Structure 1
Amino acid sequence: MNSPEDEALAHTAVDALVGQLALAPKPGLPDPRDLTARATRRDHRALRWSAGALLPGLMAMAAAARRTGEPSARLRAELAAIGRSTEHTVGLAGGGHRGALWTLGLLVAAAALKPGADPSETTTLAKHIAAHPDRRAPRRPSRGSTVSVRYGAAGARGEARAGFPHVRRALNTLTAARTQGATEAQARLDALLTVMSTLQDTELLYTAGPMGLRDVQARARGVLEAGGTATEQGALTLRALDTYLVSRAWSPRGSAPLLAGTLFLNALGAQGTVRPAPTPPQTQLSL
């Protein structure tokens, strides 16, 4: 039976994912705007619905970590088995969220191992879990892993094995933007752009190639260098980036799960309790 702590962690993770989905305007990514005209071709309501299907799996991951007590090969094997079952459940609910399941699953397990840990400790524990190989992984390589090998990109596995450096950087940006007076939506968009500005996104590598990836990274940095989305110039640059991505049917899908991971870590209380991430009264910026 899952403990209240396991349930709290899982609900916080799903809330973080839903918060990521609700944020707009996310350049080239699913958000509450008219997605039928966007590159992702995913219905936003369906994505919000299927996000809830992660909840039982994330609770089971937290329980497995709490029961195992250390970032061991045994725990890695349990998380992998739970993850594959959860992928099937999410598929029945409409699909999507594979990257979020990987990111949030590891972070939820890490948080369960050491309640009250700070973000650096939690990501380090996630790193130790991810360091163990998944010996029962399907032998057929995924598109992401194939692209990672071809271009030498870290990919989702490399990000986890490095201790989620982009999540840590995005969390710093989130905090700094709030301190500087940005709205919650603006702070979250700046955090997303921080990830996009340096992430070797395997989805972009697949669809846009190395040159396209570098161009998108530079344009994301341009928004931040213009002062972020809280400034008039930053908002204009964000709009241009969104138009650029949609016109080419490019989507920086690797960045979205890392933003969800950022919001999850932000929501963890200092003493092992869970508090909701701040919810802005208006989560959508006007383009």
Structure 2
Amino acid sequence: MSSREDETLAQVAVTALTGQLALAPKPGLPDPRDLGARALCRDHGSLRWSAKALAPGLAAMAAAARRIGEPTPALRAELGAIGRSTEHSVRLAGGGHKGALWALGFLVAAAALTPGAGGREAAVTAKRIASYNDKGAPRRPSRGSSISVKYGAAGARGEARAGFPHVRRALDALAKARAAGATEAEARLDALFTVMSTLQDTELLYAAGPLGLRHVQAGARGVLEAGGTSTTAGAEALASLDADLHARAWSPRGSAGLLAGALFLDALPVSSRAPAA
């Protein structure tokens, strides 16, 4: 049974996910305008509803971490089992969030292992958890893992085993934009484009191939190089990328899940935030 602390961590994670969903405009991703709803076969409202279905599973992951007390193969196996059960619950609630569940699951467990720590310390602990193989995982490769092998992309597993470098870069982008006077929404969008600009998003690789991935990365870099979303030039670059990805029905869903992870870590107690590697 999860404690109040575990339930609180889970709620903070769900709030981070719904905060990501509330951002607009997000090129190629669902937002309050229902951008891409036809392409993704689900609308913004249903995604907000199904996000709530993650809470019991995330609380159970935090409880497992707190009970076991350290990163071990046993903890990794238990997180995997809880994650698969939670995926089923989310499908019943409307679906979505698989990538976010992967990232948030590791990070919530890491936060439970390091109570009172800041986001960067939790990311290091998550790396230690992810270093173990999940012996209970299905033997059949997932679409994401197959795409990772085909194109040599790190994928979700590689991101976790590296200590979530794109999540840490998103934290840096949040801090930089806030310091420059951006609104919170602008800072979060800049963090999203920071992730999009370099992430080898397996969802994009599946839908658009390497050329499409590079096209999206270049578009995200264009927003940042124009000064970010708080500037007129950056806002114009964002509008152009928004229209482009909407027309192509390309969705950088991997980046969205990692932004949710960054928003979760950002809500943890403040610690040293040195630049990400």
Q: Which bracket does the TM-score occupy, shorter chain normalised?
A: over 0.9
Q: Does 1:44 align with 2:41?
A: no
Shift of 1:7: 1.0
Unaligned runs of at least 5 residues, structure 1: 272-287
After superposition, residues 88-237 of structure 1 pair within 5 angstroms as: 88-237=88-237
Contact 2:37/2:43 (8 A) holds in 1: no
Shift of 1:207: 1.1
Normalised TM-score (structure 1): 0.92
CA distance in 1, matches of 2:237, 2:41: 24
Q: Deviations over 1:113-133 (max 9, x none)?
A: 011222221111101111111
Q: Which amino acid aligns with 2:7?
A: E
Shift of 1:153: 0.1
Change (3 A) 1:235 1:264: same
Contact 1:28/1:39 (8 A) holds in 2: no
The 4+ residue runs of structure 1 with deviation greater than 3 A are: 34-39
CA distance in 1, matches of 2:151, 2:37: 30
Shift of 1:36: 6.0
Contact 1:159/1:165 (8 A) holds in 2: yes
CA distance in 2, matches of 1:39, 1:252: 13
Contact 2:119/2:269 (8 A) holds in 1: no
CA distance in 2, matches of 1:266, 1:247: 33
Contact 2:36/2:246 (8 A) holds in 1: no
SS in 2 for 1:49: helix
Contact 2:71/2:129 (8 A) holds in 1: yes
Change (3 A) 1:37 1:57: closer
CA distance in 2, matches of 1:137, 1:2: 24
CA distance in 2, matches of 1:194, 1:245: 17
Count of residues in Structure 1 that have an aligned counterpart in Structure 2: 271
Contact 1:10/1:58 (8 A) holds in 2: yes
Unaligned runs of at least 5 residues, structure 2: 272-277
The equivalent residue for 1:65 is 65
The equivalent residue for 2:274 is none
Contact 1:66/1:113 (8 A) holds in 2: yes
Contact 1:64/1:79 (8 A) holds in 2: yes
SS in 2 for 1:34: coil
Contact 2:23/2:32 (8 A) holds in 1: yes
Q: Which amino acid aligns with 1:247?
A: A
Q: Deviations over 1:9-34 (max 9, x none)?
A: 00000000000011110110011103
Shift of 1:94: 0.7
Shift of 1:246: 1.1
Q: Does 1:27 align with 2:18?
A: no
Q: Which amino acid aligns with 1:90?
A: V
Contact 2:173/2:190 (8 A) holds in 1: yes
Contact 2:208/2:250 (8 A) holds in 1: yes
CA distance in 1, matches of 2:56, 2:102: 14
Q: Which amino acid aligns with 2:255?
A: S
SS in 2 for 1:254: helix
Identity of aligned residues (%): 74
